[in-house]
Amino acid sequence: MHRLGPLNSLEPSSTLTAAEAAASPAVQLFVERVTAIVEDFTLTDANAPLVVAICRKLDGLPLAIEFAAARIEALGVEGLAARVEGSLRRLLKAQRRATVPRHRTMQAVADWSYGLLSEDEQRFLRALGVFAGGFTVKAAAAVAGDAATSDVDATARPADLVAKSLVAADVSGAKPRFRLLETIRAYAIEKRDESGEGQPIAQHHANYYRYLFQRAGGDATARPSIEWLADYGEEIDNLRAALDWAFSPVDGDISIGIALTAAAAPLWMYLSLIDEWRFRVTQALTALGKAASADDRLEMKLQAALQAALGASFARVGCDVVEIGSA
């Protein structure tokens, strides 16, 4: 069996021109499918960054691109770009004519691939859906493993899923990093929710990053910021996902969210995400104030973080004023 990989797609950029975007096979397919529906559609410098972002979000998967292109007439490029992530589950169920039954829908394709996995592999894949922005082998073993999974199995499984075209691997850095293809991630989340595993998996995920950033905080000032960010900077999306779950009113865990917020301060600071940092710390302090029992140590850390975030915000405003005055 020949394994057909995704079409090459460019990194999204607001400065991409139509000519640069047109060099991407994924964009070429998208434009071809759109013009078959909307005759006057053209790839321009204005819409090229959005088209590239759509193709990238769909992992360059031809079937996903075809489904997305069919919605341009109703949504437009901007509307599709805004909705494509949230629509992936619905795209899985979209019908496509003139295909053999097994490939009639993305749901069927995902079902077919999923059905080839063992029960343990299926459980592992469902758990991987919780990761946002990718994961390491260690994170996958900690979050997606269970008491019946050996360390060797948990370490090897991401590579096995890469071989089965369900996971993408990035080996450009010092440590390999993995991510589910977005269409497969949407499918994994759907299956996870059907199985009732969402809450425990999300808790494992949030706890893992809580302890990760607690350890990271200890050497944040002892290491160069560039070196520290190389190890932890890519976890910003996982941090956000963990906090969103922890502070959710339905099945979250506020205590994890408060501790994780306090531990992650260096990441927001080094990434200069000052507004986000301030919002998250304020959110944690509000939750702490409503808690049945207060943790004085955590409150002190959060108050110190809030003051640091406010100070950084004021400093940024001051710099903007100086630049305007010098102009």
| DSSP line for 93-110 | T-B-SSS-GGGSBHHHHH
- Residues 183 and 79 placed together within one structural domain of the fold: no
- Residues 229 and 109 placed together within one structural domain of the fold: no
pLDDT recorded at residue 327:
40
**Residue 12 DSSP one-character state:** P
Residue 228: pLDDT over 70: yes
Residue 153: pLDDT over 70: no
- Residues 299 and 323 placed together within one structural domain of the fold: yes
- Residues 77 and 21 placed together within one structural domain of the fold: yes
Q: In the chain, how many domains are there?
A: 3
pLDDT recorded at residue 3:
43
**Residue 75 DSSP one-character state:** H
- Residues 205 and 322 placed together within one structural domain of the fold: yes
From 36, 57, 84, give the residue that closes a domain: 84
> What is the span of the domain harbouring residue 136?
89-195
Question: Which of 26-40, 86-100, 178-192 has the least mean pLDDT?
Answer: 86-100
Give 278 or 64, the one with higher predicted confidence: 278
pLDDT recorded at residue 56:
83
pTM for the model stands at 0.71
**Residue 264 DSSP one-character state:** T
- Residues 76 and 188 placed together within one structural domain of the fold: no
Residue 265 class from Cβ within 10 Å (0-12 exposed, 13-18 middle, 19+ buried)?
A: buried
User: Measured between alpha carbons, how far is residue 233 from residues 236, 269, 302 in Å?
Assistant: 6, 11, 21
Residue 99: pLDDT over 50: no
- Residues 166 and 215 placed together within one structural domain of the fold: no
Residues making up the chain, counted from first to last? 327
CA neighbor of 77 nearest in space, from 30, 32, 39: 30
Residue 186: pLDDT over 60: yes
CA neighbor of 178 nearest in space, from 204, 197, 148, 157: 157
- Residues 221 and 274 placed together within one structural domain of the fold: yes
Section 149-177 average pLDDT: 76
- Residues 147 and 229 placed together within one structural domain of the fold: no
pLDDT recorded at residue 295:
80
Could you identify the residue written with the tokens 């607001």? 14
- Residues 122 and 151 placed together within one structural domain of the fold: yes
CA neighbor of 13 nearest in space, from 55, 67, 60: 55
User: What is the average pLDDT value for the chain, to the nearest integer?
Assistant: 82
From 84, 114, 145, give the residue that closes a domain: 84
CA distance linking residue 301 with residue 275, whole number of Å: 18
- Residues 207 and 172 placed together within one structural domain of the fold: no
pLDDT recorded at residue 4:
46
| pLDDT digits 0-9 by tens, 235-247 | 999 999 999 999 9
CA neighbor of 236 nearest in space, from 146, 322, 136, 133: 133
With beta carbons less than 8 A apart as the criterion, state whether 108 and 102 touch: yes
State the pLDDT confidence band at 108, using cuts at 50, 70 and 90. low
CATH code, domain with 161: 1.10.10.10
| pLDDT digits 0-9 by tens, 2-14 | 444 556 666 777 7
| pLDDT digits 0-9 by tens, 119-138 | 888 999 999 999 998 999 99
- Residues 78 and 185 placed together within one structural domain of the fold: no
pLDDT recorded at residue 320:
43
pLDDT recorded at residue 73:
74
pLDDT recorded at residue 182:
78
CA distance linking residue 275 with residue 221, whole number of Å: 22
| pLDDT digits 0-9 by tens, 43-54 | 999 999 999 988
Q: Which long-range contacts (CB under 8 A, 24 or more apart) does 111-115 make?
A: 113/164, 113/165, 113/166, 113/184, 114/187, 114/191
From 51, 84, 117, give the residue that closes a domain: 84
Could you identify the residue written with the tokens 């994961």? 135
pLDDT recorded at residue 113:
76
